[in-house]
Structure 1
């Protein structure tokens, strides 16, 4: 079986924020709004409507339009091609459990897994054949903060599932890296479904790792990179760079030159960014979805309010 992976060592601030988000951001407001039948048709901005927890849709050309709300409730959501993934914390369960829902192009459930932990990240590979996620968990002896993560991968075509993978061999400075607190998170795949990037966290440092899915190995490219997101053309990575305790700056890294560009968003962004196209990066911040140019120019632009965890259909 192919193996790949990611597990994340979170800080108290990050992990606590994730728990608070999941537990508190699922109110029942506006439940009287009829549910729309959403699809993954081209040209949509999909996101989590914060007030209801339901997945909403607006046209990319008119993101400020009144959203259509589906009946699907998620804490994290992602799409690519004709596949979507929804992470939904089970209410009332302690410790928290998360349902991982693999969805088709009409947001019908194709497959479900229930895992221990709190939703953190979710993505679908560009070809729509892999879904992957990260959840916060507690109890690992090496986690000084009391928090760590589990990350999993599901192969849509084969049904192959790895609930948690913590065995990715990685070279750091040319040598195989070993440490009891190694975790990986924030995976992002290239269009070939094989090359991927992820964050390795260990001993208070984070590294950008480039990996080979088929051969299951990777190498660290540079430090201080979290939650990478590969551009559609496969040449750049948007990521959050730690600049202080609990403070991250949204940046873009050119993979050929390793040149880093800070984006015009100067507020702290604790999110895995999403590329709308090769020129624009989307992210969630302060219960809204924002867009900013990927070249460092311009200014942040608010696309939709009462919104989080954006996804774009192409």
Structure 2
């Protein structure tokens, strides 16, 4: 090969490699610009007063990037995509009903974070606080605002596998009495008393200030249980039910159901159970839902799915009809006040 040919080949190689480098740089710059857009963009959020008993608003955890991320915020119920008013109160998990809020939050400092449950009044002022035994997972307030419940992981960090342990507490806000773990209640499996050593309980949903439903797991199976704080009992109702949510009229449960042939890290589909007939209805949402859905009204479910900002809220009809649709971007833990 002549000297001229070698020089020409070398020149072509340099040009090709240079083009590849430029292309890679532009691609990386484009990805960085998109990441910056997502991190700095999203719904408009402004500071202001948020009231848990204000009529006709949706209250939720804001997930938009910026100084108000993880704060409790509100929007008019009729304009979920509108400007948000953010309270300055930050939570890892949140729920509100009857003018009462429960906020599970991290307490920074020391060698590791600790966690706390904080009860809030209608103006988001702290009224009670309780140390938590683990990482926050679920929170609920009874419709009348007089009872609250929360679940934490005391080992493991996901419901998808089997290597986890939970602790669920229920608080009577009228007396201040705290049942630190529902595992102290008498547990009835198919009507017979049992004391399983592997019992886990999570995902309380209240019927009223005393009665509730939750998930129980034992022997590799999950159950919907009916709980009674006064009697301190838990009784199984149905199998393969996780993170239940009771309808406003008390007749149906929305829940996560493990389905066959699903991947081990995304095993659930969103179902609705008729409590009278125990008939199951799959919703039109075919993606895996790892959330405790809420009822926007008697016919619509709201739940979270991963999104650009961590979580978006979606809706789907509870009767199996229709199709899922986005309700609110960059949001989590919705609750709806009276109109």
TM-score, length basis structure 2: 0.78
User: What 5-or-longer segments of structure 1 have no aligned partner?
Assistant: 1-27
**Deviations along 1:28-67, whole A, 9 cap, x unmatched?**
979x965311002122111111231111111111111111
Which residues in structure 2 correspond to 1:44-193 (within 5 Å)?
A: 44-50=57-63, 51=65, 52-91=69-108, 96-138=113-155, 147-191=164-208, 193=209
Contact 2:151 2:202 survives alignment (8 Å): yes
Name the CA shift for 1:216/1:83 in 2 (closer, same or farther; >3 Å): same
Name the CA shift for 1:252/1:93 in 2 (closer, same or farther; >3 Å): farther
Match of 2:233 in 1: 217
Match of 2:275 in 1: 255
SS state at 1:39 partner: coil
For the residues of structure 2 that align with 1:310 and 1:251, how far apart are their CA atoms?
Answer: 19
Match of 2:19 in 1: none
Greater fraction of residues in strand? 1
**Deviations along 1:85-133, whole A, 9 cap, x unmatched?**
1111223566542121101111111111122311100000011000110
**Deviations along 1:118-171, whole A, 9 cap, x unmatched?**
1100000011000110011139xxxx9653111112221212223333122222
What is the aligned counterpart of 1:283 among 303, 315, 332?
303
Match of 2:316 in 1: 292
SS state at 1:210 partner: strand
Contact 1:38 1:57 survives alignment (8 Å): yes
| Count of residue pairs brought into register by the alignment | 281
Name the CA shift for 1:195/1:163 in 2 (closer, same or farther; >3 Å): closer
SS state at 2:215 partner: strand
For the residues of structure 2 that align with 1:218 and 1:170, how far apart are their CA atoms?
Answer: 5
For the residues of structure 2 that align with 1:75 and 1:106, how far apart are their CA atoms?
Answer: 19
TM-score, length basis structure 1: 0.84
User: What 5-or-longer segments of structure 2 have no aligned partner?
Assistant: 1-38
Name the CA shift for 1:60/1:170 in 2 (closer, same or farther; >3 Å): same
Contact 1:45 1:311 survives alignment (8 Å): yes
Bigger relative contact order, structure 1 or 2, given CA contacts below 8 A and separation 6+?
A: 1
Contact 1:96 1:116 survives alignment (8 Å): no
For the residues of structure 1 that align with 2:135 and 2:110, how far apart are their CA atoms?
Answer: 11
For the residues of structure 1 that align with 2:207 and 2:297, how far apart are their CA atoms?
Answer: 14
